[in-house]
Structure 1
Amino acid sequence: MLALGGACAPSWAQNTGAGPDAAAIRLKSGESLIQQVPTEVRKQLPVFIWGESLEGEMDGVTVMQGGAELRRHDTVIRADRIEHDKRTGETKAQGNVLINRNGDRFTGPDAEVNVNSHWGHFNQPEFSLLKNEGKGDARRVDFMGDDRTMVHDGRYSTCPRPPGSTWMPDWIVRASSIELDRVEDVGIAKSGVIEFKGVPILAAPILSFPLSDQRKTGALPPSLSISTQSGVELSTPYYFNIAPNYDATVTPTLMTKRGLDLSGEFRYLQPGYTGNLRTSYMPSDKLRDDDRWAVAYRHNHQLTRPIGGGSPIGLRVNLNKVSDDNYWRDFPRTITSLTSRLLHNEVALGWGKGPWSVSGGMYRYQTLQDVNAPITPPFDRLPSIGFSYEQPNQTLFGAPGWDLSLGTNVTRFQRAVLSAGVPTGREIGGDRSVAVAQIARRWQAPGWYVTPKARVHMARYSNDNTTGSTVSATRTVPTVSIDSGLVFERPAEFFGTSYIQTLEPRAFATWTPFRDQSKLPNYDSGARDFNYSSMFAEHAFSGNDRISDTRAVTVGVSSRLLDSETGAEVVRLGVAQRALLADQNVTLPRGTPVTERLSDTLLAGRVQWDPLWSLDANVQYNTKTRESRRTTLGGRYTPGPYKVLSAAYRIQKGVSEQLDLGWQWPLSGIWGRTPEPVPGRALGPGQWYGVGRLNYSMPDRKLIDVIAGFEYDAGCWLGRVVLERLQTSSNTSDRRILFQLEFNGFSKVGGSSLQSIQANVPKYQYLREEVVQPNRFQQYD
C-alpha cells in the first residue's frame, strides 16, 4: 500500500477551528464533509493506492496494475489498471472498473475521472444509487462535480438487478439523457418513456423523479379513474416547491361527462401562523349546464406576542363555500371533503391569562339543500362573544379544594326562513345573553369519592317579533347535584392468569326545578345522545336554550379486570339506569314531557383479553317492553402486521339496522403460512393483500357504501385495483374503479386508490414504511 501526498490528514482537518478554511467545511443538510472542502484543499488530502505492480514518481504519474485500487476519502476506484497523475488528479482506469462515490457504485470497462474536482466520464457503465436503491445502465455517464451526474442513453429502475448480463425489470425508464442532481435530490429524464412489463405507459419530453423523500418542483404522476357519474377522469397535477415553508399544487382534471375542472392548493407555514387554501373551478359543467366552484381556506395565527403576562391573541379562520346545493352530491371527493351538507364558516379570536379567557367570532353555515330531503340549518352566530373564569382548588368557608367557574356569552342569532328547503328571503333570530356560575368540590380517599356541585344558569333574550316568541324574556334556573362512588379491589385468577378485579358502584343525584321555557326560542339546544356520560349529566339537553327540569337519581355499577403486572384493562362491564323523581316537563319544541319514571337500562362492555382482538358492546334496553331500542356490537381482530378484521353491527329500532365490515389481509395467510415482516417492505415481495370496507343496510337488503380491492407487492412496485361505491342519495350512487401503480422511489401512476383505502379501512397499514436513511458505509468498498 502506498499513500500519496503524506501519511496523515492536514492539521486543519484535525482542528476545524484553527485553519483558514475551517468555515468552509461546515455541513449543510444532505452533504458530506468532503463536499464542503474547497478544491485547493482537497489536493492536500492523501491518496492511497494498491496494486500488484506500481510504476511512476511520487509527484508525477503513477501506474498500478493487477488488482489496482485508488482510495481517497469518499471515492474508491478499482480496476485491472489505474493511471493516476498526482499533479492534476487525473485518473484513468481500465478493465473491470468500479467507482464508488459516497455509496453510489458504477461498474464498467473503462473510465476517466479527476479525483480532485470529480469531473470525468465512464463508458458503458452499470450503476446503483445508495439513497433510493435506484439502478441502471447507460452508453456513457459524465461526472460533473460532486453533485451532478449525466446519464446518456440510459435505463433506470429501482427493481433489483440480478447477476448476469441481461436485466429487464418489471418497470423501467428509458431516456436519451438522465440528469442526477444530488443538490435537489431529483432525477430529470429527457425524451423519457416509462415501461411496465415491456409496455410503454407514459411518455414525456421531460420526466422528473425524486432521488430521496425531499420535495421538488415538477409534474406529479397522473391519476386515472372511471366513474359512473363523471366518466373517465384524468388528472395531471403539477407541484411548485416555492420555498421551504411555501408550496402549491395545480391539478387540471378532465372528466369526459362533465368537462375540465381546475383545482389548486397553496400551503404556507411561518413561526406565528400557518394555513392552506384549496380551490376548484369547472366552467360549464355539462351535466348541470352551469359553472361549478368550491373554496376551502384554513388559517391559524398568533397575532401578537404574549400580552400582560397572558397568551398571544389567537386568530382562527375556517371558510368553506361551494357554488350550489348539488355540489356535495356531484363532487363527493373534492377539496371540501364533504361528509355532511353543512359547510362551517368561522372567524374567531381568543386570548387568555391564568383563569381568565376571552373569545369572540362570527360563525355561519352554508346548508346544501335537497328538495326531496330538506334539512333545517342551524342558526348563524353573528357575532358571538364569550368570557370565562375558571379557578380550581380555592379555599372557601375555611376549606381548600373548591373549584369555581363563571362563563358568559352574548350572541346574535340569525337564520333564513325556508319553504320546502328553499330560502324565502325572510330572516328570523334574536339576541341572547347567558351567564353560568358553578361551584364544586371533590372529597376523596382510597376507595371512595363524593362530589357536590351547584350551578346557576341565567339567560336573557331579545327576539325578533317574527318567531311567535315573546319579544324579550329572562330565565334563571338553579341546579344542584352530587356524584359519588366506591372502588373495591381484590386479586383474581382466570385461566391461569392473575388479575385485579374491581367493583365500582356509582350513584348520582341531580335536582333542577321546573321553569316554563316553552315561549323561549331554541337557537342551539338539542337532545343528548343516550350513553354512559349523559346518564350521569345534570341536564337532558345540550346548549343553553332548554334547561331540563331533571329531578332524578342515576345508579350504576361497573367491574373491571386489570392485568396485575401492567395495569392494562382487560375487561370492563357496566350497567346504569336513571330514575325520575318527578315528571320532566321541559321539552324541545314539539316534544312531549317525560313521565316514565325509569329510563332505559344501559349495558356496556369491552373485552380485550389478548392484544390481538377486542370486543365492544352497548345496549339500550327497555325493561317495560323487554326489548332493545338500540344496540351496537363491534369487534376487531389484529393477529399480526398487515392483518386486521373489524366488524360492527348497529341497530336502532324503527330507524336503521346496519352491518359494517372492514379488512386488510394477506391472501397467503388464507391458504398457508404468512411470511415474516420485512422492515419497510411489509411481508416482502410477491404478496397479495385483500383490503376493503362495506356498509350493508339489512332492512333494505342492499349495500350502502363499498370500498373493496386488492393490493400486490412485487418488491420494487405496488399495484392496486379498488372498486368504490358511495351513496349520494336514497336512490342514486356513484361508482368508480381505480387502478394504481406505485413504483418504489419513483412515482405513483393511476387513481388515488391509496387515499380512498386509508380514509375508509380501519387500522389500515401502508405497505411501505419509513426506514433509516442509508449512509455510504452500507455500500462500502
Structure 2
Amino acid sequence: MTAHHPLAASNHACRSTGCSQPQGQQRFKRTPVALAIAVVIAANVQAETSTESAPSQAQASISLSPQAVDYPYLNWYPRTLLSEPEQAALPEFCSGMYIKPEIQPLGTDVIVAEADEAQLDKAGNAFLRGDVVMQRDSYLLQGDSVSWQQQQGSGQFVGAVSIYTPWSTLHSKEALFSDQGLGQPANLNLQEAAYALPEYHMRGEARSIETRSNGKIRLEQASMTFCEPGQNDWDIVASSINLDQKRGIGSAWHTRLRVLDVPVIYLPYYRFPIDDRRTTGFLDPSFAINGSGQLEDLQTPFYFNIAPNLDATIIPHHLLDRGFLWESQLRHKTALLGDGELNYGYMNHDKTEGDERWLINYSQQGDWGKHWSHRWIYNHVSDDSYLSDMNSASGINRSTHLPRRGEVHYRNRNWSATVLAEGFQTLDNSLTLADRPYQRLPHLNLSYQTLSASEWQFEQTLQFTRFRRQQNAYINGMEQNLTGFDGLYGQRLVSDSRLAWDKRWSFAYITPSVDLRYRQYELSHNQRSTLDADQPLSERYAVPRYKLDTGLILERPFDWRGSQLQQTLEPRLLWVKSPYQVNQTLIPAFDSGNKTVDYQSLFSGDRFTGYDRLADLDQISLGVTSRFQDDTGTELLNASLGRIHYRRDRHVVLNAGDEVNHQNSSATIGEINWYPTEHWQLFHTLEWDTYDNFARQKRFGVSYNDDQNHMVSLSNHKLQTINTTTGHPDTQLHQVDAAAFWSLTDRWALTGRLLLDQNQYDSGERRPDSRVMEALAGFEYQNCCWRLQVLYRETSPTETDLNASNSTDNRHSLMFSIQLKGLSTLGGGTDSILSQSINGYSRRQYHDY
C-alpha cells in the first residue's frame, strides 16, 4: 500500500546481504575516551524530514535498495564471509573486519519506509510494524515497530533498532527521533545502545546516547575499544561523556582504562579533542625500567592549548635516584618569524650529583617572502653529563659540541647570500682549548652561479669571517690558557672565482675549468709575547687552479642465462694543477680538515675541506665504474676502482709538523655494491695502501630486507693508519655491527642488535668499560587490538670524567611498550630506538587503525 504522506510505506520487500569493498585502514589519532562517538551521532542526526503536505508521484514511488537492509551485527564480517582478496589483506591475527555500509542515497527530502504492516490516520500519524525499514537520503533505520507523530515530527523506534550511515552503525533497544525542521539537525535518544565506526575499526556501548540540535551529545555508562567483537582485551569506560561538536571538545567523568575488564588507569575527570582542533589535557604517559627492574623514569605530560598559534607542554619526570625533573616545551607560529620552539629542563637538586641541573634549547625558522629565510638554534646545558643522565631510555649521547647558530639567507635565480653567527658549547672535557672549534662571529657569504642552459658556467663566492675562540678556561679543575700559535684568532676574506665549459654528449663529457682562489688574513693574539718572532699577523695570496674533467659512458647489451642485461663502462679522468703556496701552516686551520676518502673524493680536485688550506696539486685521477642493469633499468651491480697519480710532492699540510707526502700515487680505492635479488644487498669498500701494503679503510657488509618484516644486516668497519715509529698499522676504529628484526609469524617477532668495539688497546691506554657499545634483545607480540614490545638494552655512553679508569660507562635498561591499537602507546620509545638501530625498521609493514 502507498500512503499520501511524506512517510511512504509499502509491503515488505525481498532483501539480500550486500557489502562494500573494505576501506584502507587509517590510524585513529584522537585522545582516549569515546573519541569518535561525536562522529557517529553527528552523522546520524543530520537527516532532516520533509514537512510537505503530500508527496509527488515520483517521491511516492521511491523504494529501498534491497542490499542495504540486511547487515551483520555492527557491520562486522568474519573471515569466512570475506572475499579472497579481503582475506589475503587481513593479518593472520585478525578474525574479520568491519565493512562500511553500502547505502544508495535517495537524493530527496522525503522519508521512505517499508514494513510488514502500516496504519495511517487523517492527522498524518503512522504506525509501522514488522521488519520496519526507513531511509532518509543516505541514512537507514530499522526496527520491529515505529510510531510516527507527524505534528511533532518525531518517531519512536522499538525492538532491535539499527541505524546505518555510510560511516557508522548503531544498535539499540529503543530510539526516539525528533525532527527540528528542514535544514536543522534532529534530536536522537538511544537506549541500551551499541555503535561501530567501520572505517576506524572502533566500537562501543552506552546505556543511553542523547543528542541535541545545538551539537551537544551526552553518553551515560559508555565504553569504546578497537578490539574485535567478542574480544575485549582492553577498553575505555566512563560514567558520563559530554561532547560539544561546535567547540570540538569532549569531557568525561570517572574514566577508566580496563585490561581484561580490570581497571588499570583511573582519571576522575578528563578533557579531550573530538576533531582536529587542539585541546588542553593530559597526553599519554611513558616510563622506562632499568636492568634491575626498577622504574627509572616516569613521565606524565600535560598539554596547554594557549592560542591558535601558541601551545605548550609540561612534562614532569621522576628519575630514579635523582629526583624530579621538570621539562617544558613552548611552540609558536608567527607571520614574521615563522615556527619557533623553546625547550627547558630544570632539576632543582640532583640527589646523585648534589647539584642544580638544567637545559635550554631554542630553535626558530621561517621565510620572509619569496627570497628571504632564517634559521636559529641555541643550546645550553648545565654540565657535560646532562644529556646522558637525563635520557630516560639510558641511550648513548656522543655529542661533543652543542651548536648555537643564527642564519639569514637570501636567494634568487643566480644569487645567494648568507649572514651567520655561530658558536658551540663543548661537552667533552677531554678536549683541550686548542682542540675546540672556533666561533664564527660573523660569517658573511655572497655567491653567484650561472643557471642558464649555456655550456659556459661562471661561479663567484665572496666571504668574510671573523673567528674567535675562548682563550682561557677551567677544564677538569685545571686552568688552561691559549698561548703561542694556539692563541691566534682573527678575520679572513675569501674570493673564489670559477669559469668552466661544460660540454656533454650521450656517450661522453668534457669540462675544462679554471679557478682563482684569493685569501686575506688579519690575525690577533692576546699574548703576543708568546708568539714566534717569524709569525705573521697579516697574510694575503691568490692561487690559481686548473682542471680538466672528462669521461665516457659506454653501453652494451648482453644475454645472461636467458635474461637480457645491459652493462655500462664509465672510465673517468681528472687532471688538476695548482701551484704551491708557502707558509700556509702559519695560518690557523679555522674551518679546514682532511677530506674523508672514498671513490668520489678522488675526483674532487682537493684534499682539504674548508677554505684555509689551498692544496698544491699536480695530479691525474683515473677511475672506472661499471654497472649492470636488467631490462627494467633496475641496477643489479655496480663496481668502481680508482686512484690518484701525483706528479710532485704534496707540501701543503693541515698542521705544522705534519709530514710532507712524497708518494707518487694515492691508495687504491675500490667499491662494489651487489643486489643478487630484490631483497639482498652486499657491499664492500677497500682503501689499499700500496706502499705499506695494508688496508687504510675496510668496510664490508650484507643486508636483507623484504616486505614481510624480515630485516637483517651485518657489517664490519675498520680504519687504520701507519705508525711511523714501528712501521706497522695502528687501528683507529674497528667496529662490528649486527642487527635484525624478524617476524616469525604475523603475531610474533624477534629483534636484536650488537655493536662491538674490536679495537686492540695498549696496556696503559684508557679503554671502554665493555666492548659492547650497544646491545638490544627483545621480542614483539601483537593481535588485532594491541601490540607489546619488550626490549633489553645495554649502552656505553662516553665517560666525561677523565679521572675514571674507563673511557665509557656501562648501562642496562629494560623497556616496555604497549600499543593499544587505534588509541595510544604506553611505555618507552622502543619503536624510535629500533628505527635508529636497525636498517629498514622505519619502513616495516605496520598494522594499526
Q: Output the TM-score relative to the length of structure 2.
A: 0.78
Greater CA drift, 456-465 or 747-756? 747-756
Question: Counterparts of 1:237-256 in structure 2 under 5 Å?
Answer: 237-242=301-306, 245-256=309-320
Give the one of 139, 145, 155 matched to 2:207. 139
| Displacement of 1:479 | 1.1
Residues 5, 47 of structure 1: 8 Å contact kept: no
Q: Deviations over 1:247-275 (max 9, x none)?
A: 33221111131111121223334566223
1:356 matches 2:415: yes
Q: Which residue of 2 aligns with 1:459?
A: 519
Q: Which residue of 2 aligns with 1:325?
A: 384
Q: Which residue of 2 aligns with 1:719?
A: 788
Q: Structure 2 vs 1, CA of residues 458 and 611 (structure 1 numbering), >3 Å: closer, same or farther? A: same
Q: Which residue of 2 aligns with 1:127?
A: 195
Q: Which residue of 2 aligns with 1:274?
A: 339
Q: Which residue of 1 aligns with 2:89?
A: none
Q: Which residue of 2 aligns with 1:287?
A: 352
Question: Counterparts of 1:220-239 in structure 2 under 5 Å?
Answer: 220-227=283-290, 232-239=296-303
Q: Which residue of 2 aligns with 1:734?
A: 811
Q: Deviations over 1:63-101 (max 9, x none)?
A: 111111222235432111111112222221222122335
Residues 375, 421 of structure 1: 8 Å contact kept: no
SS for the counterpart of 1:362 is strand
Q: Which residue of 2 aligns with 1:572?
A: 638
Q: Which residue of 2 aligns with 1:691?
A: 751
Amino acid at match of 1:567: G
Q: Which residue of 2 aligns with 1:626?
A: 693
Aligned residues: 718
| Displacement of 1:542 | 0.7
Residues 4, 58 of structure 1: 8 Å contact kept: no
Greater CA drift, 506-515 or 717-726? 717-726
Residues 171, 194 of structure 1: 8 Å contact kept: yes
1:758 matches 2:835: yes
Q: Deviations over 1:718-766 (max 9, x none)?
A: 1111222332123303322221211122222222222222333221145
Higher relative contact order (CA 8 A, sep 6+): 2
Question: Counterparts of 1:303-702 in structure 2 under 5 Å?
Answer: 303=368, 305=369, 311=371, 313-332=372-391, 339-371=398-430, 376-392=435-451, 401-417=455-471, 421=475, 424=480, 428-465=488-525, 466=527, 469-516=535-582, 517-564=584-631, 566-589=632-655, 590-653=657-720, 654-668=731-745, 683=746, 687-699=747-759, 702=771
Residues 89, 114 of structure 1: 8 Å contact kept: yes
SS for the counterpart of 1:99 is strand
| Displacement of 1:527 | 0.2
Greater CA drift, 180-189 or 407-416? 180-189
Q: Structure 2 vs 1, CA of residues 568 and 768 (structure 1 numbering), >3 Å: closer, same or farther? A: closer
Greater CA drift, 109-118 or 39-48? 39-48
SS for the counterpart of 2:109 is coil
Q: Structure 2 vs 1, CA of residues 217 and 131 (structure 1 numbering), >3 Å: closer, same or farther? A: farther
Greater CA drift, 532-541 or 417-426? 417-426
Q: Which residue of 1 aligns with 2:161?
A: 97
Residues 157, 175 of structure 2: 8 Å contact kept: yes
Q: Structure 2 vs 1, CA of residues 438 and 662 (structure 1 numbering), >3 Å: closer, same or farther? A: same
| Displacement of 1:482 | 1.1
| Displacement of 1:193 | 1.5
SS for the counterpart of 1:518 is helix
Cα distance in 2 for residues equivalent to 1:383 and 1:250: 35
SS for the counterpart of 1:155 is strand
Cα distance in 2 for residues equivalent to 1:477 and 1:695: 46
Residues 268, 275 of structure 1: 8 Å contact kept: yes
Amino acid at match of 2:424: Y
Residues 43, 165 of structure 2: 8 Å contact kept: no
| Displacement of 1:159 | 0.9
| Displacement of 1:38 | 8.3
SS for the counterpart of 2:808 is coil
Q: Structure 2 vs 1, CA of residues 82 and 30 (structure 1 numbering), >3 Å: closer, same or farther? A: closer
Cα distance in 2 for residues equivalent to 1:2 and 1:336: 74
Residues 683, 702 of structure 2: 8 Å contact kept: yes
1:217 matches 2:280: yes
Residues 280, 335 of structure 1: 8 Å contact kept: no
Q: Structure 2 vs 1, CA of residues 67 and 146 (structure 1 numbering), >3 Å: closer, same or farther? A: farther
Q: Structure 2 vs 1, CA of residues 425 and 697 (structure 1 numbering), >3 Å: closer, same or farther? A: closer
Cα distance in 1 for residues equivalent to 2:4 and 2:738: 70
Q: Deviations over 1:680-700 (max 9, x none)?
A: xxx4xxx01223433122347
| Displacement of 1:352 | 2.9
Residues 184, 216 of structure 1: 8 Å contact kept: no
Q: Which residue of 1 aligns with 2:223?
A: 155
SS for the counterpart of 1:124 is strand
Q: Which residue of 1 aligns with 2:91?
A: none
Cα distance in 2 for residues equivalent to 1:183 and 1:382: 52
Q: Structure 2 vs 1, CA of residues 504 and 393 (structure 1 numbering), >3 Å: closer, same or farther? A: same
Give the one of 155, 171, 175 matched to 1:111. 175
Q: Output the TM-score relative to the length of structure 1.
A: 0.85
Can you give the 5+ residue segments of structure 2 that lack an aligned partner in the other structure? 9-38, 54-107, 721-730, 761-769, 799-806
Cα distance in 2 for residues equivalent to 1:326 and 1:644: 34
Amino acid at match of 2:297: E
Cα distance in 1 for residues equivalent to 2:349 and 2:3: 74
Greater CA drift, 125-134 or 478-487? 125-134
SS for the counterpart of 1:640 is coil
| Displacement of 1:187 | 5.5
Cα distance in 2 for residues equivalent to 1:158 and 1:446: 58
Give the one of 139, 142, 150 matched to 1:78. 142
Amino acid at match of 2:750: G
Amino acid at match of 2:579: P
Q: Deviations over 1:511-538 (max 9, x none)?
A: 1111111212221110001111221122
Greater CA drift, 244-253 or 719-728? 244-253
Cα distance in 2 for residues equivalent to 1:442 and 1:335: 53
Q: Aligned-residue CA RMSD in angstroms? A: 3.3
Question: Counterparts of 1:160-179 in structure 2 under 5 Å?
Answer: 160-162=228-230, 169-179=232-242
Residues 605, 616 of structure 1: 8 Å contact kept: yes
Cα distance in 2 for residues equivalent to 1:112 and 1:620: 80
Cα distance in 1 for residues equivalent to 2:4 and 2:242: 33
Residues 6, 51 of structure 2: 8 Å contact kept: no
| Displacement of 1:145 | 4.0
Q: Structure 2 vs 1, CA of residues 598 and 182 (structure 1 numbering), >3 Å: closer, same or farther? A: same
Greater CA drift, 106-115 or 645-654? 106-115
Cα distance in 2 for residues equivalent to 1:184 and 1:647: 53
Cα distance in 2 for residues equivalent to 1:227 and 1:115: 60
1:264 matches 2:264: no
| Displacement of 1:131 | 4.9
Cα distance in 2 for residues equivalent to 1:30 and 1:511: 74
Query: More strand per residue: 1 or 2?
Result: 1
Amino acid at match of 1:625: D
Cα distance in 2 for residues equivalent to 1:217 and 1:238: 8
Give the one of 256, 261, 271 matched to 1:193. 256
Residues 234, 261 of structure 2: 8 Å contact kept: yes
Residues 233, 255 of structure 1: 8 Å contact kept: yes
| Displacement of 1:227 | 3.4
Q: Structure 2 vs 1, CA of residues 181 and 636 (structure 1 numbering), >3 Å: closer, same or farther? A: farther
